[in-house]
């Protein structure tokens, strides 16, 4: 179960970083998969309008926190 949570955390971190890069410059790679949050979720939440970069970086931090928390749980 720990590995699954770490993989989810890794995907969240990659989506956050990729979305931030896409918002600042251009889409690096795996655009459809890695920018799902940036292109599907953010436009549907009105509270995030104007805060897209902050939302993507927060998603990346959440992913890293999930990876670290899953790594610290006892086996």
pLDDT of residue 11: 94
Domain residue ranges of the chain, discontinuous segments joined by +: 2-72
Supply the pLDDT for residue 28: 63
Q: Read off the pLDDT of residues 4-59 as tens digits, 9 standing for 90 and up.
A: 999 999 999 999 998 888 888 876 666 777 888 888 888 899 998 889 999 999 99
- Check residue 66 and give its pLDDT: 96
Sequential DSSP letters for the chain: -HHHHHHHHHHHHHHHHHHHHHHHS---S-HHHHTHIIIIIHHH-GGGTT-HHHHHHHHHHHHHHHHHHHHHS--
Q: What is the reported pLDDT for 36?
A: 85
């Amino acid at each position: 179960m720990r590995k699954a949570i770490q993989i989810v955390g890794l995907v969240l971190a990659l989506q956050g970083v990729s979305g931030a890069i896409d918002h600042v410059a251009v889409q690096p790679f795996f655009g459809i998969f890695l920018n799902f949050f940036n292109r599907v979720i953010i436009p549907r939440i009105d509270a995030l309008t104007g805060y897209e970069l902050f939302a993507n970086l927060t998603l990346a931090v959440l992913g890293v926190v999930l990876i670290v928390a899953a790594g610290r749980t006892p086996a």
